[in-house]
Amino acid sequence: QSALTQPASVSGSPGQSTTISCTGTSSDVGGYNYVSWYQQHPGKAPKLMIYDVTNRPSGVSSRFSGSKSGNTASLTISGLQAEDEAEYYCSSYTSRSAPYVFGTGTKVTVL
Amino acid sequence: EVLLVESGGGLVQPGGSLRLSCAASGFTFSTYPMHWVRQAPGKGLEYVSSILGNGGSTSYANSVEGRFTISRDNSKNTVYLQMGSLRPEDMAVYYCARDTRPGFAFDIWGQGTMVTVSS
């Protein structure tokens, strides 16, 4: 099962905004509003940041927002802060035999 | 506090077996689907397996189908992953995760347990 495609890395200065894309197919990202995003710091477990494309769990900063257009979902981080430097993964529900697929991961660097 | 704690990882030879456990606390365990996700060293996240709250339905990634079995004991608030015919490519940190319910995401993660497959 092929992973969703994300850019390997993105960067931005503190206070700027940055957007991470997550491209799939009509069998996953494009077919369902069940895209989620995870933040992972080195040596730590992933943390849910966005679910169902646009929803933020309680406690997640409003600087994080999600959207989707066609087969591509996006995570935008506004007002970049040093603590946002981490690896980010998207995930989607899929109609294939295994119900979930993750993205390839994007390293966010705060300059 | 909602908590997931994995255990059971370790060193196993290729072709061997291992059973991982994930003990849950702080929520009504039997009402939540549970999942296993793994991460090979230096690599990304990979979906492994899921089980519904009543244990009645399970799902697997193609890469582990037929070799891994997920199960749960709601009386012990624990989900298991029985791994067999282990291969070097199964070496990874294995995380258990709770389902968002309703939803199709993973909202609570354990700290992970490392499985090393090597002779």
Residue A32 has pLDDT above 90, yes or no: yes
**Chain B, window 35-74: residues with a beta carbon less than 8 angstroms from a chain A beta carbon:** 35, 37, 44-47, 50, 59-62, 65
Q: What is the mean pLDDT of residues B39-55?
A: 96
Predicted local confidence at residue A1, as pLDDT: 66
Decide: residue A84, CB within 10 A, 0-12 exposed, 13-18 middle, 19+ buried: buried
Residue B20 banded pLDDT, cuts 50, 70, 90:
very high
Probe site for chain B from A100, A104, A107 (most B CB atoms < 10 A): A100
Closest in A98, A100, A102 to B44, CB measured: A102
Residue A9 has pLDDT above 70, yes or no: yes
Please give the radius of gyration of chain B, using alpha carbons only, rounded to the nearest integer. 13
Task: Tell if the CB–CB gap between A36 and B62 is shorter than 8 Å.
Answer: no
Residue B42 banded pLDDT, cuts 50, 70, 90:
very high
Residue A67 has pLDDT above 80, yes or no: yes
Predicted local confidence at residue B75, as pLDDT: 97
Could you report the per-residue pLDDT of B51-71, keeping only the tens digit for each?
999 988 999 999 999 999 999
Residue B103 banded pLDDT, cuts 50, 70, 90:
confident
Rounded CA separation B96/B21 (Å): 9
Q: Which three-class secondary structure string do you get for B42-102?
A: CCCEEEEEEECCCCCCEEECCCCCCCEEEEEECCCCEEEEEECCCCHHHCEEEEEEEECCC
Residues B48 and B36: beta-carbon distance below 8 Å: yes
Decide: residue B10, CB within 10 A, 0-12 exposed, 13-18 middle, 19+ buried: exposed
Predicted local confidence at residue B50, as pLDDT: 96
Q: What is the mean pLDDT of residues A54-81?
A: 97
Residues A23 and A72: beta-carbon distance below 8 Å: yes
